[in-house]
Amino acid sequence: MAKKVSTKKEESVATVETPVRLDVDIAVEQRLVALYTLQSIDSEIDKIKIIRGELPQAIEDLEDEIAGLNTRIENFRGTIAETQQAITARKHEIGEHEEMIKKYQKQQDNVRNNREFESLNKEIEFQNLEIQLCERKNREGEAKISDLNQHIEAAQQLLANRHTELTAKKEELTGIIAETEKDEQRLLAKSKEQEQYFTGPDERYLTAYRRIRNAARNGLAVVTIDRDSCGGCFSKIPPQRQMEIKMHKKVIVCEHCGRIMVDDDIAARAKEQLEK
């Protein structure tokens, strides 16, 4: 009799330790596995982008600066052309004033009185003042052109330096891309494959995933429970909440950061799927 009692007790203990999970929603489990798999793939892509560092942004900044320098040089050249045209026009104007002076001087030889002489003399003085004004403006224009040419020379030197930097950074980025491109393309293809699981009504989960991921600084939209805390914001998760996450009955998000949370079982299944 003692042996039979012992056997029943052992069977009772075994039944308690391995409860049957009849409340699991298989569709929700598959959805959670797909989400965590997608997150794992996208995190690997993020690591590749981190390896590239700030090179893409640095290249874009250099290209913007080069475009700005080219525009500045073109503006300088445009101003020089306008100034030269103004100088040429004033030289022509000086010639006209000199012709008028000669004309008035000839008229002075045939004046009938002092009044006419003085009048012509004032006209000659006025024409000389106009000539002086044109010559002064031309000197200012020549000085302006000289100054602009110096600015162009400095801008061209800076432009050459920026082109050298841009070439070096592009070569560096090309080398890094060559090393990581194959892995990146493979991961991008896998990411697209996972996205195909979210069609119809389930597409809202993919939309939510992207929204959360874009808002998160570390790109994590789906996280596991780590030491009773959210793996994203590290806020404590109550035991009841943890139990709900482990039941896989619905998609649950962190009350603090809004990230989707999964348990280690979902993470393990996602890992198995990635290794296939």
Write down all domains in the chain, each with its CATH number in brackets. 2-51+198-275 (no CATH), 55-186 (1.10.287.1490)
- Over the stretch 197-223, which tens digit does the pLDDT of each residue have? 888 888 999 999 999 999 988 899 999
Q: Name residues whose C-beta falls within 8 Å of residue 84's C-beta, 6 or more positions apart in sequence.
A: 141, 145
pLDDT number for residue 101: 94
Helix (H, G, I), strand (E, B) or coil at 252: strand
pLDDT number for residue 221: 94
Mean pLDDT of 102-108: 92
For residues 69 and 111, which has the higher predicted lDDT (pLDDT)? 69
Q: Is the pTM of this model over 0.85?
A: no
> What is the distance between the terminal CA atoms of the chain, rounded to a whole angstrom?
52
- Over the stretch 50-62, which tens digit does the pLDDT of each residue have? 878 888 889 999 9
Cα dihedral 92, 97, 100, 105 sign: negative
Mean pLDDT of 216-239: 92
User: At what angle are helices 264-275 and 26-52 packed, to 10 degrees?
Assistant: 70
pLDDT of residue 9 exceeding 50, the answer is no
Amino acid at 43: S
How are strands ordered across the β-sheet holding 252-253?
Answer: 229-230, 222-226, 260-262, 252-253
Residue 175 CA, chain-centre distance (Å), reads 21
Q: Cα-flanking dihedrals φ and ψ of residue 253, to 5°?
A: -115, 155
pLDDT number for residue 24: 53
pLDDT of residue 15 exceeding 50, the answer is no
pLDDT number for residue 208: 92
Mean pLDDT of 104-125: 91
User: Which position has the token pair 């280690």?
Assistant: 264
pLDDT of residue 140 exceeding 80, the answer is yes
pLDDT band for position 66 (cuts 50, 70, 90): very high
pLDDT number for residue 192: 86
| CB of 107 closer than 8 Å to CB of 172 | no
- Over the stretch 240-274, which tens digit does the pLDDT of each residue have? 999 999 999 999 999 999 999 999 999 999 888 88
- Over the stretch 25-40, which tens digit does the pLDDT of each residue have? 678 888 899 999 999 9
Return the number of other C-beta atoms located less than 10 Å from residue 258's C-beta.
16
What distance in Å separates the CA atoms of residue 8 and residue 261, rounded to the nearest whole number? Answer: 40
Return the number of other C-beta atoms located less than 10 Å from residue 38's C-beta.
26
What distance in Å separates the CA atoms of residue 262 and residue 35, rounded to the nearest whole number? Answer: 9
Q: Which of 43-47, 73-77, 101-105, 167-171 has the lowest mean pLDDT?
A: 43-47
Strands 222-226 and 260-262: parallel
